[in-house]
Chains A and B, each alone.
Chain A
Amino acid sequence: MNAAAEALDRIFRTESGAVLATLIRVLGDFQLAEDALQDALTAALETWPAQGLPDAPGAWLTTIARRKALDRLRHARIVQAKSSALALAMSLEQEAAGAADERDWSPVPDDQLRLIFTCCHPALSPEAQVALTLRTLGGLSIGEIARAFLASEAAIAQRLARAKQKIRRAGIPYEIPDRDSLGPRLDAF
């Protein structure tokens, strides 16, 4: 790996977690957020070596990923859920235009912290909570998590897929719990 590639790799590792957490908050969908981040990383690989690093790589990745998510929503033509997709597209455009951001009024202005509480929701099994947190926030690979659990990669991949599906389909919210419901979220720690 040459120096430029190493620099890119380092930036990806340090920025990806925070960018992903923000994307999941904005998009409300793990899979869409992960796909959009991959798109943005690909775009970075294509443009950064030629044009140089942006001043704030994390912000750059977030902006591009939002645009890519919008493209994906349009292409996927989620016609069935037209109204919600449309609302999401509108809020994305609003955010892009610099309108009021949810972080302005949130008591804990940290997307990654919110994401921890979504990943550790008591409606998910403890195994799923830990695996999802390690993957999404810890940035561990599926192979690394599999070794930690002494499980196969296929089993971990399936556990993660099921957990993300449950978050989406059961309506597990992306928010910091209030004091009363804080306790059950801390079990996985």
Chain B
Amino acid sequence: MKYVLLIYAAEKNWASLPQEEQGAIYGGYMAYTEKLGKSGKMLACEPLEPTSTATTVRVRNGKPVSTDGPFAETKEQLGGLYVIDVKDLNEAMEWAAGIPDALTGSIEIRPVMDVSGIDKIK
């Protein structure tokens, strides 16, 4: 089954960390991503720029309206994601627990919906 692991962490904390701690977390991510990649179960890995760079688009009354910032202001922000293909939810939970930000932030696991024909479009 395919799952998306959404990494939620407080951006504020990251900015206030000393450089060596940022380096350690970065190193942790590189090691984790390498391990996941070597397992053959990683379909995608996308770190995201901070929410200060986000733009949100809505169409209202037929007109697109864009606003500065993320969809919702929250304590923790979506910072990146992995897409994995594993046996079941238990295995997805194991991989989620290995993500460095699981220690201080939260990882949301979402099963990918199986929509027939969508792969052909991709």
Contacts and interface: CB of A to CB of B under 8 A. Distances in A.
Nearest to B87: A173
A171 B1 contact: yes
A136 to B, nearest CB: 18
A179 interface: no
Interface string B78-93: 0000000001111011
Interface string A47-88: 000000000000000000000000000000000110000000
A181 interface: yes
The B interface, classified by DSSP as helix, strand, loop or mixed, is mixed
Interface residues of A, number: 12
Interface string A158-189: 00000000000111110101000100000000
B84 to A, nearest CB: 12
B89 A81 contact: no
The A interface, classified by DSSP as helix, strand, loop or mixed, is loop
B114 A181 contact: no
Contacts of B116: 80
- Most chain B CB neighbours (cut-off 10 Å) among A169, A170, A171, A175: A171
A100 B49 CA distance: 52
B28 interface: no
A177 B88 CA distance: 13
Give the size category of B's interface with A: 10 to 19
A170 B111 contact: yes
Contact of B111 (A80, A169, A177, A181): A169
Given A80-B114, A169-B111, A171-B89, 4 more contacts: A171-B3, A171-B88, A171-B92, A172-B88
26 contacts: A80-B114, A80-B116, A81-B114, A121-B89, A123-B89, A123-B93, A169-B111, A170-B89, A170-B109, A170-B111, A171-B1, A171-B3, A171-B88, A171-B89, A171-B92, A171-B111, A172-B88, A172-B89, A172-B90, A173-B87, A173-B88, A173-B89, A173-B90, A175-B90, A177-B90, A181-B90
